[in-house]
């Protein structure tokens, strides 16, 4: 079956072996989190950011630290096992490792890190409710949605974790655009964003496009198709736009980034997206394996099939542990440098 599915060259058609399926599900289930985000870089789980005011931040954890073990269980064997299976995406890998840091609210976990000096450091951290506001849609599970907006010098910066919670998120996005009238550029950071509601990509793009009749692409289903038409909105932003993506940017994130890239409205920075733009279902087979299959197809406005290919950044920039330890985000720095270069002396 794997050989037959492989001929499709689609990321949403795969057989997950029972051992990998169990690893992806994680050994611990629960909504509690210490407030750590991470990426697997060179086979190691590296802290990339900390939620403001989280137990991890209060404990003194820093970006760039390596996570070695959680409650005495080593992380490296899990990473090695998942990396050995080509059907496991970067998004799935990251979620599987993050699951080891989760548990029930109020519990305490013991995490061993390698700090900036490569010295083993053991920290006890409480598990608290995830950052953001709880939201759900249809049959989707409850998720906590957060949104942040700030200015880095004269450049606007927007970041959010999922395309959900339509009213609150769209209102926040619109206010950020209105407050950025005098910005020299705008950075939209959707790294690690797994997607959500496709209509939100159209709505957000409307704040960046002033010409009617343009589309981000088209989603084709068995009985119908959905055109991702952009309706211009006011107030709009007409300056340079940079979008940050990585292997954790999937689904609606890919439609948003790829569509604006095709329209030459945004320059994309980072690493290739998840190549998982299609809605899919994973079912457990009788032998314990997982079977994932897509239920639609998507073609970008530029005629590209994002599924299996992903969004290729205009400027490829990778996160490094060294940069994180020095307090730098190399992807964000590259976007800022480009925006500064767009200004007329």
CA distance 225 to 296: 9
What the block records as the tokens of 59 is 């404990």
Q: Residue 345 — very low, low, confident or very high, per pLDDT cuts 50/70/90?
A: very low
CATH of domain 17-126: 2.30.42.10
Reduce the secondary structure of 106-141 to three states and give it as a string.
CCEEEEEEECCCCCEEEEEEECECCCCEEECCCCCC
- Per residue in 164-215, pLDDT (tens digit) is 999 999 999 999 999 999 999 999 999 999 988 889 999 999 999 999 989 9
Residue 27 has what pLDDT?
Answer: 45
Residue 6 has what pLDDT?
Answer: 62
Q: What is the pTM of this model?
A: 0.88
Residue 85 has what pLDDT?
Answer: 80
CA distance 162 to 190: 8
CA distance 63 to 329: 10
CA distance 150 to 153: 9
CA distance 208 to 240: 10
- Per residue in 129-142, pLDDT (tens digit) is 999 999 887 666 78
Of 219, 288, 294, 279, which is closest to residue 5 (Cα–Cα)? 294
Angle of helix 90-99 relative to helix 76-83, nearest 10 degrees, comes to 160
Residue 198 has what pLDDT?
Answer: 86
What the block records as the tokens of 225 is 């198709």
CA distance 175 to 116: 38
Q: Which residues contact 274 (CB under 8 A, 6 or more apart)?
A: 11, 89, 90, 91, 194, 247, 248, 249, 250, 251, 254, 310
Of 61, 64, 76, 66, which is closest to residue 125 (Cα–Cα)? 61
Question: What fold characterizes domain 133-341?
Answer: 2-enoyl-CoA Hydratase; Chain A, domain 1 (3.90.226)
Domain ranges of the chain: 17-126, 133-341
- What are the CA-CA distances from residue 2 to residues 10, 198, 215, 278, 291 (Å)? 12, 30, 35, 19, 10
Cβ count near 317 (within 10 Å): 19
Residue 55 has pLDDT above 70, yes or no: yes
Percent of the chain at pLDDT > 90 equals 66
CA distance 24 to 164: 23
Cβ count near 181 (within 10 Å): 12
- Per residue in 231-246, pLDDT (tens digit) is 999 889 999 999 999 9
């Amino acid at each position: 079956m794997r050989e037959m599915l492989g001929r499709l060259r689609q990321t949403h058609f795969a057989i997950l072996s029972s051992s990998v399926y169990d690893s992806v599900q994680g050994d611990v289930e629960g909504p509690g989190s210490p407030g750590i985000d991470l990426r697997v870089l060179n086979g190691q789980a590296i802290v990339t950011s900390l939620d403001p005011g989280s137990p991890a931040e209060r404990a003194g954890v820093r970006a760039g630290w390596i996570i070695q073990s959680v409650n005495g269980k080593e992380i490296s064997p899990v990473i090695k096992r998942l990396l050995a299976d080509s059907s496991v995406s970067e998004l799935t890998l990251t979620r599987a490792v993050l699951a080891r840091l989760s548990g029930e609210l109020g519990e305490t976990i013991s995490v061993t890190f390698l700090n900036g000096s490569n010295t083993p450091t053991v920290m006890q951290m409480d598990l608290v409710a995830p950052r953001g506001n709880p939201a759900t849609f249809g049959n989707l599970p409850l998720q906590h949605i957060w949104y942040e907006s700030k200015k880095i010098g004269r450049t606007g910066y927007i970041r959010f974790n999922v395309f959900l919670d339509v009213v609150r998120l769209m209102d926040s996005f619109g206010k950020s655009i209105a407050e950025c009238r005098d910005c020299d550029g705008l950075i939209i950071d959707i790294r690690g964003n797994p997607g959500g509601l496709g209509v939100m990509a159209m709505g957000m793009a409307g704040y960046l496009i002033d010409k009617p009749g343009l589309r981000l692409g088209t989603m084709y289903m068995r009985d119908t198709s959905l055109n991702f038409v952009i309706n211009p909105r006011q107030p709009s932003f007409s300056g340079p736009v940079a979008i940050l993506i990585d292997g954790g940017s999937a689904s609606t994130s890919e439609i948003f980034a790829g569509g604006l890239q095709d329209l030459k409205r945004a320059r994309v920075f980072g690493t290739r997206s998840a190549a998982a733009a299609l809605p899919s279902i994973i079912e457990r087979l009788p032998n314990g394996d997982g079977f994932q299959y897509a239920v639609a197809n998507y073609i970008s406005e530029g005629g590209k099939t994002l599924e299996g290919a992903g969004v290729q950044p205009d400027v490829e920039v990778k996160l490094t542990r060294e940069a994180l330890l020095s307090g730098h985000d190399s992807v964000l720095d590259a976007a800022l440098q480009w925006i500064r270069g767009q200004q007329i002396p």
